[in-house]
Structure 1
């Protein structure tokens, strides 16, 4: 009788240990990363190698039906960036995304469409997302990097 009780207790302990509290673990990857991410951007190009910063920026990831994600970023300075079907992989406790799109950049009446690439990385807790938009044909190659939080104090010097 004691062996049966001991085995029952052991079974309960093993079952509880195997459970996970991570609600995103069973969700499709595109739903696990979907959401609005708020932070700042740093744009770097040949003409401004130290970077131009912008606070109060956001990137929106929307889950598509085909397990990809739509990436939307609108910049007051650099235009609208949309990736309709970024792919997602999960490894080493984070999500990585890749995709391509086009954006319209220019000043006044002089605007032109440019191709860009997108890469993103989101940790499982969604605490340190980083999204990178690279536009090779603008200003000798421009890279816009989004990060969570506010522009670092060191950038204001």
Structure 2
């Protein structure tokens, strides 16, 4: 099932589908993939693991794609990300009736923070290489820090 093709959802999803026990219906089920498609136009996913114990199907889905703007809060601005979702679907009469899922936000945030840290490190390196040594000259009559300490030591009994 392609989650972007909302026209086929009624064939696979119950009209009164629930998410975490709250009825969201077809409109609610359709809204999430639509939002994902807007945030990640080139989103691709595959099932890395799949288990079935009727009426439940569990899957570990792996998502890849370059999001636009923000994804689940943090700005990503087009850099490709990879994250997973663990999802359970309970079927009733051949259609998805109940959904429970958890997205691995910690792994996603770790990718984004690692990229930010690398960018900051690169920026700091470039600035350090480009910066010329700065010499602080005190105005005439104002002792530099080292001179003031030396004078204080000499005056101490």
TM value normalised by structure 1: 0.36
Higher relative contact order (CA 8 A, sep 6+): 1
Instruction: Give the structure with the higher percent helix.
Output: 2
Which is higher, the Rg of structure 1 or of structure 2?
2
